[in-house]
Amino acid sequence: MRILNNNLWLDGFLDYHRLPGEYRIKITHYFTIKKLDNLYFSPSKSVRLVFNYLREIGLKAVLRKIYSRSRESFRNDKYLACGIGVICEKDSNSSFPLDQVVLFIAPNHPQCLEHICLPSELIQPISTTKFTNLVSDKTNDIHYGEIPELSEKSETWYKVIGWSSYSGIKLSPDDSKEVFIYLKQIISRQQLPIKTTLKSTSRVIKVNNTVKSNGSNSNNITAVLFGYGQYAKTNIIPNLNKRIVISRIHEIDPCQLGPIEKHSISLDTSPYPHIDNRFDIYFVAGYHHTHTPIALHALSKNAYAVVEKPIATTRTQLNEILEVLKSTSGNLFACFQKRYLPFNEFVFLDMQLRMGDPINYHCIVYEVKLPERHWYHWPNSQSRIVSNGTHWIDHFLYLNNYSNLENYNLWHATNGDVICVAELENGATFSMTLTDHGSGRIGMQEYIELRSNNTTIRIKNSSDYFAENQSKIIRSKKTNKMDAYSKMYLTISERIVKGLPGDSRESIYSSTDLMLKYEEMQNS
């Protein structure tokens, strides 16, 4: 389809995937109301910021980040809009018929586009002749304009702004009533605020299979990637074994994919795999609540599932994963990069411990304050414990060989900090403070302190390591904090190429179970 960006009509994009219960609408009139901010992380274009990151992660990683971020500006350009269109695709049991003319609200979409997929709560059928005359012609023109934001808005107006079908936020018809009343007032005027008329087509393309897959070589291992964001571009794709060929990318936002002609592999805007699809490896880095369904599909195909954190966001999802792992010949790798820190091997040497001996683990994690409408705030994403804290929970358990849990607790400070504590059967203790109060000079920062056998180890930002005992400094080391990410995907992909097993069922249970215990405690 075509998308308007910075008043330029661009061609070659896939259409949005239509979720069950949604309607695909061919747009005839489209009016932007408000450009949205606070949806995504958008670092300032600062020489000082670049310099800070150069010192922290090195030139190569900085150039990758800059290149990736620069290509996301189109994705970030989203609006609250509304308009008129005609239903061209729906479920067989949906209420509104095909060819029904409707008013619609676009809560989180590009400046203008040819087709849009929305639930019934954001659609109102038009029955009067006055309105249907607006779309009575048979041309493919789209009339684009702008209307001002309503000056006095209720809470329901704010609920619609930036809403997503993937958020887990339930809408009711009342939530959109105020916007529809305003839209009808605009349309009822004699002169619509149309700035330009754009030529459209009638094509709906949700999957691009026109490109021959590079996975046809018998020596190659075929892979599919879910989520084409900065993480995948800078950490997954550059660090795979050369025999692994990504044959398909699933990305729900067509703006993130860009024009399909720029890609040499198959593309899809579905958040989930199709039932008949089969790949050797499924790399999963999309919205958190989608990780488990994709992993279950991969395991049902006896394939490898390489899953970014979290493995599951609910107790039901964890139980489903554990059940499937009992019977599948597929394998699951959990992408907790702290398991791959180059300092881990020093910990046992410097503390003179064996795997399973108790290591007390205490950390303070500074998280950059989230933009107001960032998807980490969605109910489907759960809390900051699931979205981020799970890394340190897993690292603590990993260093203690996943000893059984004895005790745990959680406390919310009045300033919003979250403090988690735990004790294991082997005697190891854990404390974690998650906070967004502090310096964001180089993004997320962390401080870890390990204590055991009269030895203290301090790890700062996954890059500085310092170990001392009662008599001397044992070791001091520095590394690039991005090394753990590259080592993780290189190690995992090499294990897959060799046909080696994934992570143990016990490690997946232990880490995710404690994370969910904290989540359940704070929601109780």
> What's residue 64's pLDDT?
60
Q: H or E segment at 346?
A: helix 344-351
**Model confidence at 55: pLDDT above 70:** no
Angle (CA) 281-284-285 rounded to 5° is 145
**Model confidence at 154: pLDDT above 80:** no
Percent of the chain with pLDDT over 70: 89
- Residues 18 and 117: beta-carbon distance below 8 Å: yes
- Residues 265 and 249: beta-carbon distance below 8 Å: yes
Using a 10 angstrom Cβ sphere, with 0-12 exposed, 13-18 middle and 19 or more buried, the burial of residue 326 is exposed
**Model confidence at 334: pLDDT above 50:** yes
- Could you report the per-residue pLDDT of 433-455, keeping only the tens digit for each? 999 888 777 778 999 999 999 99
What residues pair up with 106 in beta bridges, in sequence order?
81
Across the chain, mean pLDDT equals 90
Q: H or E segment at 273?
A: none
- Arithmetic mean of pLDDT, 295-310: 97
Altogether, the residues listed in the chain come to a count of 524
| Tokens 């950059």 -> residue | 368
CA-closest candidate to residue 24, choices 94, 89, 108, 83: 89
Alpha helices (H) in 193-333, listed in sequence order: 230-231, 254-257, 291-300, 315-327
CA distances from 24 to 3, 92, 247, 265, 332 (A): 16, 13, 28, 26, 35
Q: In the sheet where 112-113 sits, what is the strand order?
A: 8-10, 3-5, 112-113
Q: Which residues of 452-487 are buried (b: 16+ CB within 10 A; e: fewer)?
A: beebbbebebbbebbbbeeeeebeeeeebbbbbbbb
CA-closest candidate to residue 22, choices 127, 165, 161: 165
**Model confidence at 56: pLDDT above 80:** no
**Model confidence at 62: pLDDT above 80:** no
> What's residue 140's pLDDT?
77
> What's residue 215's pLDDT?
45
Could you tell me the two tokens for 131? 């309105």
**Model confidence at 143: pLDDT above 70:** yes
CA distances from 96 to 24, 147, 374, 377 (A): 11, 27, 32, 32
> What's residue 200's pLDDT?
78
**Model confidence at 52: pLDDT above 80:** no
> What's residue 128's pLDDT?
55
**Model confidence at 338: pLDDT above 70:** yes
> What's residue 50's pLDDT?
61
> What's residue 65's pLDDT?
58
Give the pairing of strands 221-226 and 281-284: parallel
Amino acid 61 reads A
- Could you report the per-residue pLDDT of 183-231, keeping only the tens digit for each? 888 877 756 788 888 887 767 888 888 765 444 566 889 999 999 998 9
> What's residue 45's pLDDT?
62
- Give 116-164 as a DSSP string: EEE-GGGEEE--SHHHHGGG-S---EEEEEE-PPPSS--HHHHHHTT--
- Arithmetic mean of pLDDT, 8-21: 93
Whole-model pTM: value is: 0.92
More confident site: 397 or 367 = 397
Q: Which residues of 149-172 are buried (b: 16+ CB within 10 A; e: fewer)?
A: eeeeeeeebebbbbbbbbbebebe
Sign of torsion, CA 154 156 159 162? Answer: negative
